[in-house]
Amino acid sequence: MLLQRVITAVVLLALLLPTLWVATPWPFALLTLLLIAAAGWEWSRLNGVAAVAAIGPGVLLATAGLWAVFTGSVTRVPTVAWQVGFAAWLVLGAVALRGGPAAWSRWPAVVRLALGLLALWLAWLALAGARAVGVNFLLSTLCLVWVADIGAYAAGRAFGQRKLAPTISPGKSWEGVAGGMVCVLILAALWALVIDLQWPVDSPSLYTQLVVRFGWAGLVPLIVLLAGFSVVGDLFESLVKRAAGAKDSSRLLPGHGGVLDRVDALLPVLPIAMALTAV
């Protein structure tokens, strides 16, 4: 299993990393669109659509993404779209998590399907938009989610006592969440004070942009907010999988499960990051 995970990770990095350093952002947008379309297929299957029919929503996402790329709409997403996404995750995410897997299964199937596809669509637009802002901005946003996850896992293993959401993800603890947030705050300070100031970067990072707009005092609660929403995204996908009786969203990524299993925490964080930094 470990060897599979390593091989899959190396292959994905070999495909993704070259697209980050070309002059145009479109190769990255197109490659990640393929992954998001696969996630749309997974989401549809988890919400009761037959395997073959589930290809349709994935194709729909891919078509919408291609239209956005070739019309230049990726770089012209109105700020209100990010704000609506922020509000939707705040309200609907809270409602879904409060209800748990049993309540999620009672939501109308068409509503569940549409919400997931919209979340994936908005997250991909934010991902492509972040790449258009700059590689440094994109990586700083992605690393926030990764560091929050790693820090939460380490702190949870070491100190975890109080369960965060036992009916959704029994392994997560409040201590783990707190540890992840501390790690992200350290990351933000190091990125803003070292990488952005000492290294040649193509764009200000997420953290520097937040400092410019809200000051250092504003950076702390906003980073905690983003780290908190990464947990919401993770828990939300776990809820959907529990409702469907599935361990993984699919087996598309050997050793890792499915695409949704790898991008769940990014779904709310990417559009919220764009909302907080949009001019």
Banded pLDDT at 254 (limits 50, 70, 90): confident
Banded pLDDT at 110 (limits 50, 70, 90): very high
Per-residue confidence (pLDDT) for residue 3, from 0 to 100: 63
Tell me: pLDDT of 9 over 80: no
Per-residue confidence (pLDDT) for residue 81, from 0 to 100: 95
Residue 243: partners with Cβ closer than 8 Å, 6 or more residues away: 46, 101, 102, 104, 105
Per-residue confidence (pLDDT) for residue 100, from 0 to 100: 94
User: How far apart, in Å, are the Cα atoms of 275 and each of 123, 135, 232?
Assistant: 12, 18, 17
Helices (H), the chain: 2-21, 26-46, 55-70, 79-106, 109-133, 135-159, 174-190, 196-198, 206-244, 259-263, 266-277
Best CA proximity match to 3, nearest among 256, 249, 260, 261: 256
Find the mean pLDDT for residues 42-58: 93
Per-residue confidence (pLDDT) for residue 22, from 0 to 100: 87
The answer to whether residues 43 and 259 touch, using CB atoms and an 8 Å cutoff, is: no
Structure tokens at 39: 């996630």
Best CA proximity match to 31, nearest among 145, 119, 124: 124
Best CA proximity match to 99, nearest among 225, 230, 240, 247: 240
Per-residue confidence (pLDDT) for residue 40, from 0 to 100: 96
Per-residue confidence (pLDDT) for residue 26, from 0 to 100: 87
Structure tokens at 102: 């049993």
Banded pLDDT at 1 (limits 50, 70, 90): low
The model carries a pTM of 0.94
Find the mean pLDDT for residues 54-69: 94
113-159: per-residue pLDDT in tens? 999 999 999 999 999 999 999 999 999 999 999 999 999 999 999 99
Largest CA distance in the chain: 53
Q: Percent of the chain scored above 90 by pLDDT?
A: 82
192-238: per-residue pLDDT in tens? 999 999 999 999 999 999 999 999 999 999 999 999 999 999 999 99
| Domain that includes residue 73, residue range | 2-277
Instruction: Decide: helix, strand or coil at residue 246.
Output: coil
Tell me: pLDDT of 68 over 80: yes
Tell me: pLDDT of 2 over 70: no
Report how many domains make up the chain.
1
Share the mean pLDDT of the chain: 93
Banded pLDDT at 278 (limits 50, 70, 90): confident
Of residues 9 and 180, the one with the higher pLDDT is 180
